[in-house]
Amino acid sequence: MIAKTDQEITKIREAGACAAWVLNQVKKAVTPGISTYDLDQIAKKVMEESGAVSSTYGYGRKGNEFPAYMCVSVNEQLVHGIGNKGKILKEGDIVSLDVALNYNGFVGDNTCTVGLGELAEPVKNLLRVTEQALHKGIEQAREGNKVGDISWAIQSFAEKNHLGVVRELVGHGVGREMHEEPQIPNFGVPRSGPLLCAGMVIAIEPMLTLGSPAIKTLSDGWTMVTQDGNYCAHFEHTVLITKDLPEILTSLKN
Ligand code: MG
């Protein structure tokens, strides 16, 4: 596995801080009545002000490039939701905000799912457990551990809490590119997979569902939703593996 140099780590740390800042600005705007397009436009503006470039805008195969500056996914939408003027948020919705950007040549990637107003108890629990599962995974992001230790920590915690674990999408290495090696699945076997070493930077991103974890892609070619239409949640941090405790690069700095 490719460890980053100290110079690269300094730059990824800056990119991570920037991604956290942008995500927080979007998060603060989440309120009933706002459209997912408006949230995307806020991401665009804050990235521009910060000197960052969206990693999602234009991503993908020629002819079907992702057309938005971040991913905004509502309720049964898991990932890759495209901001839409007609999609207005209301009380009781949950919305996943996924911000990946390039700052001075390096990427920061982070996601959170937030609720609007009062949520039903199982939905509240879904958000809580998915965020906790992220931190269970991060705890295992230690030199000498293997990728499977992260995967198992997430899977076992999710299943203990009776949530579905999405298999089709995984976390990933982060650096100059948004998706580098290794893949970080949210399911797996302890003590298996690539060895983790100090200097590696990875995005850990559990995606959990209230019902079945089966997903499908909508006809826009991007938006991924649960097949059963039930709620799903997604939390993500970009994390640096060190000789000691993992460092979350996308935590919000004041
Ligand atoms: Mg990611």
CATH number of the domain where residue 108 is located: 3.90.230.10
* Structural domain for 166, as ranges: 6-248
- The answer to whether position 151 is within a domain reads yes
**Locus of tokens 């919000």:** 252
In terms of Cα–Cα distance, which of 59, 147, 128, 39 is closest to 100? Answer: 59
- The answer to whether position 1 is within a domain reads no
92 and 32 Cβ atoms separated by less than 8 Å: no
- The answer to whether position 230 is within a domain reads yes
pLDDT digits (tens, 9 = 90+) for 37-88: 999 999 999 999 999 999 999 999 999 999 999 999 999 999 999 999 999 9
- Please give the structure tokens belonging to residue 146: 């293997």
Q: How far is the CA of 144 from the centre of ligand 1 (A)?
A: 23
Q: What is the average pLDDT score of the chain?
A: 97
- The answer to whether position 160 is within a domain reads yes
Reply yes or no on whether the pLDDT at 241 is more than 90: yes
In terms of Cα–Cα distance, which of 75, 61, 81, 76 is closest to 215? Answer: 76
- The answer to whether position 92 is within a domain reads yes
Q: How far is the CA of 88 from the centre of ligand 1 (A)?
A: 25
**8-state DSSP, 236:** B
- Please give the structure tokens belonging to residue 94: 């949950």
d(CA 12, CA 4): 9
- The answer to whether position 122 is within a domain reads yes
Residues with CB under 5 A from ligand 1 (ion): 109, 203
Q: How many domains does the chain have?
A: 1
- The answer to whether position 169 is within a domain reads yes
pTM beyond 0.95: the answer is: yes
Q: What is the strand order of the sheet 164-165 is part of?
A: 164-165, 207-209, 232-234
**Locus of tokens 């996943």:** 96
- The answer to whether position 45 is within a domain reads yes
pLDDT digits (tens, 9 = 90+) for 100-151: 999 999 999 999 999 999 999 999 999 999 999 999 999 999 999 999 999 9
Q: How far is the CA of 203 from the centre of ligand 1 (A)?
A: 6
Reply yes or no on whether the pLDDT at 253 is more than 80: no
